[in-house]
A = this chain, B = another copy of it.
Amino acid sequence: MALIVQKYGGTSVGSPERIQAVAERIEHFHQAGDQVVVVVSAMSGETNRLIALAGEISKHPSRREMDVLVSTGEQVTIALLSLALQERGLKARSYTGWQIPLVTDSAHTKARIERIDDDKVRADLDAGCVVVVAGFQGIDENNNITTLGRGGSDTTAVALAAALKADECQIYTDVDGVYTTDPRVVDKARRLDVITFEEMLEMASQGSKVLQIRAVEFAGKYNVPLRVLSSFKEGNGTLITVDDEVDMEKPVISGIAFTRDEGKLTLRGVPDTPGIAYKILGPVGDANIEVDMIVQNLGADGTTDFTFTVPRNDMERAKEILDAMQSELKAREVITNDKIAKIALVGVGMRSHAGVASKMFGCLAREGINIEMIATSEIKISVVVSEKYLELAVRALHSEFELDKA
């Protein structure tokens, strides 16, 4: 008998029929003797409908009231799913965030979980109940309704699994697992049976949108085995787990992530003085623009070229900030480029295998692809290339590192 926390997203519970299909799946687990806690999102479209209603009334709605509003979406789903389970003869009981309670800080619309009281859930499970919990929502110390921000239902599921010391946290979604890379770009992309938390985090932060980063972080921190599966298709999905449980025969590289969502800014000919990076990036950060990759090259004349990437939408705004500082920084010029793509090789195997970087650069060179930026971390190598080479580069690397093979 296992204790399983399952999470179903908005598409999985998007209609009464789909809610009934979810109930059928839960029944299978229950009949197999598992204890099941289910975390659900709002029915697809519902959160947007509520936000649109608020938009008709207020352009800058208060965050407290937005949380009161949108948290109703999940509340509707928990009631409907509980009814569907009861209709199948199962005992089921719904809980809103405040009923658990799942206590968060007071940062409305993006609250962080502080603690979970699992007494009632555990008592219900021991009494043979399926427990149905509203994802995405909590309560602060002053009895205000809070929400965890978009995708927060994944975090709710992982946090509950951690609190309950569940055997597994299963995230049901519209893809059937984590792939070596995006199957829409590389048709030989394979579903991974297993991936480590670190790899998953790097994949997610590099543009692979299967899971919310916060949920993976949480799962890694509390060592909750996390599994991504399809709501619509049978299969084992991908298990996300700790490093030492991963097969030692695992290939060096687990996957290739990529994104088109960044733009690049270069300050040419900046005097190479201490504190120059802070002088440049301080004002960018103050403007709430997130900086991703940063590269600084020392030139022969004592000046440096300083390059960094930001979300593509923020590139023009970042350029305005740099332009205003150009004379103060004594920079020769400010260059931008939004026709770039970032590609990242991810794999814990890199730690024990030298030569991954040179193999990567060699492969790209053979394809005639120029590398504009390089950044490395312990389990990741990222490069920026011209956007037009994205598909070519990803396919070539996918073959080079033998990700096509099972």
Residues of A within 8 A of B (CB): 16, 19-20, 50, 53-54, 56-59, 61-62, 64-66, 68-69, 71-72, 75-76, 78-80, 82-84, 86-87, 93-94, 96, 98-99, 143-145
Q: Using known A-B contacts A72-B72, A76-B72, determine if residue A83 contacts B98 with beta carbons closer than 8 Å.
A: no
Question: In the complex, what residues of B have CB within 8 A of residue A66's CB?
Answer: 79
Decide: A83 near B57, CB < 8 A? Known: A50-B76, A68-B75, A68-B78.
yes
User: Do B58 and A79 touch across chains, with their CB atoms under 8 A apart?
Assistant: no
In addition to A16-B56, A66-B79, 11 A-B residue pairs with Cβ atoms within 8 Å of each other are A53-B76, A54-B80, A54-B83, A57-B84, A57-B87, A61-B83, A65-B94, A69-B79, A69-B80, A72-B72, A72-B76
Q: How far is the CA of A58 from the CA of B19 in the complex (A)?
A: 12
Give CA–CA (A82, B64) in the complex, Å: 10
A71 CB contacts on chain B under 8 angstroms: 75
Closest Cβ of chain B to A230, distance in Å, is: 23
Say how many copies of this protein the assembly contains.
2
Q: Nearest 7 A-B pairs (CB), nearest first?
A: A69-B79, A72-B72, A16-B56, A68-B79, A58-B83, A65-B79, A65-B82
Report 16 cross-chain contacts, Cβ distance below 8 Å, ordered by A residue. A50-B76, A53-B76, A54-B79, A57-B87, A58-B83, A58-B84, A65-B83, A68-B75, A68-B79, A68-B82, A69-B76, A69-B79, A72-B72, A72-B75, A72-B76, A75-B75
Provide the residues of chain B in CB contact with A79, threshold 8 Å: 54, 65-66, 68-69
- In whole angstroms, what is the CA distance A133 to B171 when docked? 36
CA distance A65 to B92 in the complex (A): 10
Of all chain B residues, the one with the shortest Cβ separation from A75 is: B72
> A53 contacts which chain B residues (CB < 8 A)?
16, 76, 80
Nearest B residue to A77 via CB reads B69
Of chain B, the residue at the smallest CB distance from A93 is: B64
Q: Is the Cβ of B94 less than 8 Å from the Cβ of A57? A: no
Write out the residue numbers on chain B whose beta carbons fall within 8 Å of the beta carbon of A94: 64-65, 68
**Min CB–CB distance A55 → chain B (angstroms):** 9
Least CB distance, A174 to chain B, in whole angstroms: 22
